[in-house]
Amino acid sequence: MHARVKPLGTDILIKVLNPEEQESKTSGGLYIPEEANPFAGKLYKAEVLKVGGDVDKICSGDIILCKYQTGIEVDYDVIIMKEEEVIGRF
């Protein structure tokens, strides 16, 4: 589904690297409440897939650092978020 999504303005489309390490569901299928999630408030790496027309500092293919649970999930490991929510770039 994310292949058809075109970010607008300052939005970027990212793919989370190693999403299984940040999953909020146990291997048995139980969901972990956000307050008990060990990844809440932590950071993760992601690859930028596409950028909106008004994005200045980030390009497709960049590896970025993001705060856990920023943006809106488009697909299993694909998120659309604002450029301002990016913490850093590698």
> The tokens 């790496």 sit on which residue?
45
Residue 30 to residues 21, 23, 27, 55, 74, Cα–Cα distance (Å): 15, 11, 7, 38, 22
Beta bridge partners of 79: 14, 73
Residue-wise pLDDT for 32-75, tens only, equals 665 655 555 678 899 999 999 999 999 999 999 988 778 898 88
Residue-wise pLDDT for 24-39, tens only, equals 566 677 666 656 555 5
Residue-wise pLDDT for 4-19, tens only, equals 889 999 999 999 887 5
Distance CA 49, CA 7 (A): 10
Sorted by where each starts, the structural domains of the chain and their CATH numbers stand as 2-89 (2.30.33.40)
By the 8 A CB rule, do 55 and 31 touch? Answer: no
